[in-house]
Amino acid sequence: MTFLRRWWGQSYSYDWMSRYFESHGALSAFRVVVGVCCFCYGLAAITTYLTAKPPTTWIADVFILAGTVSSFVVGALWLRGPWPSERVSLLFVLYADVETTLALLSYGSIQMSFPGCSLLAATGVYVQVFHSPKVLLAHLAWSGATVTTMFLLILRTPTFDHGLAVSQLVVLLPVMFSTPVFLQSMLLSLRLDANGALIDPLTGLRNRRGLDEDLPHFLGEESEVAVMVIDVDRFKSINDRFGHEGGDLALQLIARRLLVDDVLVARTGGEEFALVVRVCADQAVSVAEWLRSRLYSPYDVSPLTVSIGVAHASSIEGDSVTAVTRLLRRADVAMYEAKHRGGNQVVVAAVRSQD
């Protein structure tokens, strides 16, 4: 029960998992595999008419025909791409579960199609990787209803081999039900561990590694980018006056105020933060001044001021992480110039020809 409660309470993120596989070059491969599987299901549906027990009613024929055509259409959509949104992905899971069950029930012999319930386990693998425990539970409930219905239909038919059905059921149960829960729990735990390596534990912001991990997805096809390095002025005096606990609270306050839309934020060390914004040069300065004012409040116990260095590039060529790293070095130099001038101000890095 402890394991089940832990599995049920684990967090998940469809977008995070998709970005993770995309950053490792695996998302396109997954998309192709799913598309090919859909084609295989369509071909399998066609072969039902070539076996000794083809569908025996016109309703069954309609279900098989609909499943065949839709499998090829859905497979083509997967191969064409792009990777679906979470909502579309959920609709795909619903389609796969319902269509698989209808196809199995439409076959001429329930006993011969009963082992085909394992196809639901294939859909379960997809759910385990990309969706939440709640979605997996719904999938398992549907799978359980399908297996139970088919098993009872076999038992109600005297001419069927009931012993064989029991043997098939014993094989299906661990494959379809116990294994998926265990594997998803392990995957979610691995995701949390991987995500934890990208997050600063004090502020909840990305750390430098997390910043690099999210850069390709955040920047996309943007041609212009600005980076900012923000450092808290006279932070040592805050620690001296309020202790390290007070300093930690100040950093957490800054982190909350830096969390604004369309800005990638990270704590890169000590009292230093890095931001990436998709704006032109003039807008970058305006954003930096706005942030400088936002971080200061006269109502704070110890009002905070910051020094901000800004660097801008009109285009990003090649690896975005390498390009942003160069900009961060320039912004860091500009930030120290702001501190040298007395702090609580914005300094723009000198423009370089390669930027």
Burial class of residue 198 in the structure, from the number of CB atoms within 10 Å of its CB (0-12 exposed, 13-18 middle, 19+ buried): middle
Instruction: Measure CA of the first residue to CA of the last residue in the chain; give whole Å.
Output: 58
For helices 133-155 and 118-130, what crossing angle results, to 10°?
170
Burial class of residue 289 in the structure, from the number of CB atoms within 10 Å of its CB (0-12 exposed, 13-18 middle, 19+ buried): middle
**Cα maximum dimension of the chain:** 92
Cβ–Cβ < 8 Å for 258, 205: yes
Amino acid present at 151: F
Rg of the chain, C-alpha, whole Å: 28
Cβ–Cβ < 8 Å for 317, 223: no
Asked about 245 being catalytic, the answer comes back as no
Strand partners, 265: 275
Q: Helices (DSSP H) in the chain: which residue ranges?
A: 2-9, 14-23, 27-47, 58-80, 86-106, 110-113, 118-130, 133-155, 162-173, 179-196, 208-219, 235-258, 281-295, 320-340
Cβ–Cβ < 8 Å for 338, 308: yes
Tokens 């990777």 correspond to: 83
Strand partners, 267: 273
Closest CA to 151 of 172, 132, 133, 176: 172
> DSSP characters for 174-243?
IIIIIHHHHHHHHHHHHHHHHHHTTB-TTT-SB-HHHHHHHHHHHHTT-S-EEEEEEEETTHHHHHHHHH
Instruction: Please tell me which residue in 213, 224, 271, 337 is annotated as part of the active site.
Output: 271
Active site residues: 271
